[in-house]
Every structure is written in C-alpha cells, then in structure tokens.
Amino acid sequence: VGSNCHNVEYFAGIEKQCLPLEQKLGNPSSEATQKAVKACWLDHLGF
C-alpha cells in the first residue's frame, strides 16, 4: 500500500510538469501536442 501512495504523488508530480505543455502548445487534441506530452511522460518515467 505504501508504494502505491508514493506512486500517486509521483505521477501527480510528473503531471504537473507535463500538463502545462498542453496549454503552452495549445490544441491538446492535436497530434503534435499529444506527442510532446507523451514524450514528457516517457522522459520522466525513464523510458
């Protein structure tokens, strides 16, 4: 259970850093924006 709690905070932290990309790039549904956000997530997750 402890590690699960940590994951929620961990993911929330990544989300805080990656979600602003949507606003910055505009048009969250565009492929380029989705790619950038996905790349941000993968980068933070270490893939």
The model's pTM is: 0.72
pLDDT at 3: 56
Asked if 25 and 33 count as a contact pair (C-beta separation under 8 A), the reply is: yes
Band of residue 6 on the pLDDT scale cut at 50, 70, 90: low
pLDDT at 1: 47
Query: What digits encode the pLDDT tens for the residues 19-44?
Result: 999 999 988 889 999 999 999 999 99
Band of residue 4 on the pLDDT scale cut at 50, 70, 90: low
SS3 30: coil
The CB-side HSE value for 29 (13 A sphere, CA atoms) comes to: 0
Q: Domains in the chain: how many in total?
A: 1
pLDDT at 5: 64
**Domain residue limits at 18:** 2-45
